[in-house]
Structure 1
């Protein structure tokens, strides 16, 4: 079977670690200081569930509640990873705003989304509980994970989860029946 090409966009407030998660996955390294992203696309060949993928990951410039999200973030994007940081209330609010924008553009049932709480290694700075993240994901009926780019914790799972979610949607499973969450 030839590899399937899939394009994923990572979205969320600035400095939540979108670039760090992507670079950790693609290059197996943690970059702590990374210039605020203009927009960057990373590619990786991967295999999930017996299917090969040529993955293109769009690292978007950070959004906030006032951002006009460019049209390009809605065209030819197969799935979204919405990232907030567990130590930032603001980033948690912004991710809700980004979700609403995506749903406005793409419709609720069609778009594969995974919610990620990043920086779970910052145990003492946490302001968003695992429960808060899980509740939000359940209200959207999307998978939820907490990750740490720094500790390389659950980073691969994010990509496996979004690819599996895309596959389910492509096969006509709306995901209404079950919601899986990994934290």
Structure 2
């Protein structure tokens, strides 16, 4: 059975834990308890393949940012989450992506962008079009999700697994490994 190491990243309070717990335990947690780091495992079937998701739910708070390099090194795919009700959390996505690429020393890494809390339409600060535009500029998939109403929760994680599979397939199809940067040596 294939195991996929997924990492959920994003600013504080965007709903990373709520999305993860909704996927794993099928319920919505509405009290806010900032995460330092939690790990979850779930066996699922994605496109007729049984696989094990190993999901690392990370801290959004800046005071835990020193831990990021470590989990970014071990993760295979990244769910980058912002809240549609928070413009600043949306603006943080670019920095998360840049850090992932730097730590992985790659031009491309399996990433899925999620605009969470889409059930809070009246408090929206980031349009769906802006989310789509950002994802398009990074050439990664995008979905709006709601951990509360379970909208696109499974789909977001499953789509990320498909991205990992696609990039692995591209790697094994010959040629240069997709994403790995060439080293420059000056003698």
TM-score, with length taken from structure 1: 0.88
Partner Cα separation in structure 1 for residue 66 and residue 137 of structure 2? 24
SS at match of 2:170: coil
Once the two structures are TM-superposed, the CA of residue 108 in structure 1 deviates from its matched residue by 4.4
Partner Cα separation in structure 1 for residue 99 and residue 164 of structure 2? 19
Q: Give the alignment partner of residue 96 of structure 1, picking from 82, 94, 97.
A: 94
2:3 match: 5
TM-score, with length taken from structure 2: 0.87
1:179 match: none
Q: Give the alignment partner of residue 145 of structure 2, picking from 120, 136, 147.
A: 147
Number of residues of Structure 1 aligned to a counterpart in Structure 2: 173
SS at match of 1:58: strand
Partner Cα separation in structure 2 for residue 110 and residue 52 of structure 1? 26
SS at match of 2:73: coil
1:28 paired to 2:38:
no
Larger helix percent: 2
1:158 paired to 2:146:
no
Q: Unaligned 5+ residue runs, structure 1?
A: 175-183
Q: Rg larger in 1 or in 2?
A: 2
SS at match of 2:100: helix
Partner Cα separation in structure 1 for residue 137 and residue 100 of structure 2? 15
SS at match of 2:164: helix
Distance 1:151 1:107, change over 3 A: same
SS at match of 1:8: strand
Greater mean deviation of Cα atoms: 132-141 or 59-68? 59-68
Partner Cα separation in structure 1 for residue 68 and residue 140 of structure 2? 23
SS at match of 1:120: coil
In 1, are the aligned partners of 2:36 and 2:64 still within 8 Å (CA)?
A: no
Supply the RMSD in Å over aligned alpha carbons. 1.9
1:15 match: 13
SS at match of 1:43: strand
Q: Give the alignment partner of residue 41 of structure 1, picking from 16, 34, 39.
A: 39
Greater mean deviation of Cα atoms: 136-145 or 51-60? 51-60
Partner Cα separation in structure 2 for residue 140 and residue 146 of structure 1? 16
Once the two structures are TM-superposed, the CA of residue 71 in structure 1 deviates from its matched residue by 2.8
In 1, are the aligned partners of 2:73 and 2:103 still within 8 Å (CA)?
A: no
In 2, are the aligned partners of 1:6 and 1:54 still within 8 Å (CA)?
A: yes
Partner Cα separation in structure 2 for residue 159 and residue 66 of structure 1? 24
Once the two structures are TM-superposed, the CA of residue 111 in structure 1 deviates from its matched residue by 1.2
